[in-house]
């Protein structure tokens, strides 16, 4: 495995640009090795687009995770704000209604 070269300040001949390209190249090769991909060496343009693609995929995954987490909190919050009668099973609600109807019917017959 190749060790990343140290980053130097821009000097004569654009050493910073060269070092940056070397870093991107090394990072992309490391990422490919971690993912188990078999890739041939590519140009600097291809490496740049590859790295941008990886960053975009990671950003999308992170946003999806955040949205899932936020939607879970919203659902839990809505459930907590519901009236207690809404949280009771429907069989209990039906029994309560039947009891009320029976009381009303008894009151009307008297």
Looking only at Cα atoms, what is the longest distance across the chain?
106
Q: Identify whether 91 is part of a domain.
A: yes
Residue 101 has pLDDT above 70, yes or no: yes
Q: Identify whether 18 is part of a domain.
A: no
Residue 61's domain spans which residues? 42-109
Per DSSP, the chain holds a count of helices (H) and strands (E) of 4, 0
CA atoms within 13 A on the CB side of 84: 0
Number of domains into which the chain is organized = 1
pLDDT digits (tens, 9 = 90+) for 39-53: 566 666 776 777 778
pLDDT at 97: 79
pLDDT digits (tens, 9 = 90+) for 61-91: 888 777 776 665 555 555 555 555 556 666 6
Q: Identify whether 29 is part of a domain.
A: no
Q: Identify whether 3 is part of a domain.
A: no
- Note the pTM of the prediction, 2 decimals: 0.26
């Amino acid at each position: 495995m190749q060790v990343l070269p140290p980053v130097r300040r821009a000097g004569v001949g654009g050493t910073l640009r060269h070092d940056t390209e070397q870093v991107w190249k090394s990072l992309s090769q490391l990422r490919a090795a971690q993912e188990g991909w078999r890739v041939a060496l590519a140009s600097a343009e291809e490496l740049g687009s590859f790295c941008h693609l990886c960053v975009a995929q990671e950003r999308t995954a992170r946003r999806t995770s955040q949205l899932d987490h936020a939607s879970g909190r919203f659902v839990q919050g809505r459930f907590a704000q519901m009236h207690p009668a809404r949280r009771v099973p429907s069989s209990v609600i039906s029994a309560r209604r039947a009891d009320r109807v029976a009381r009303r019917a008894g009151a009307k017959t008297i």
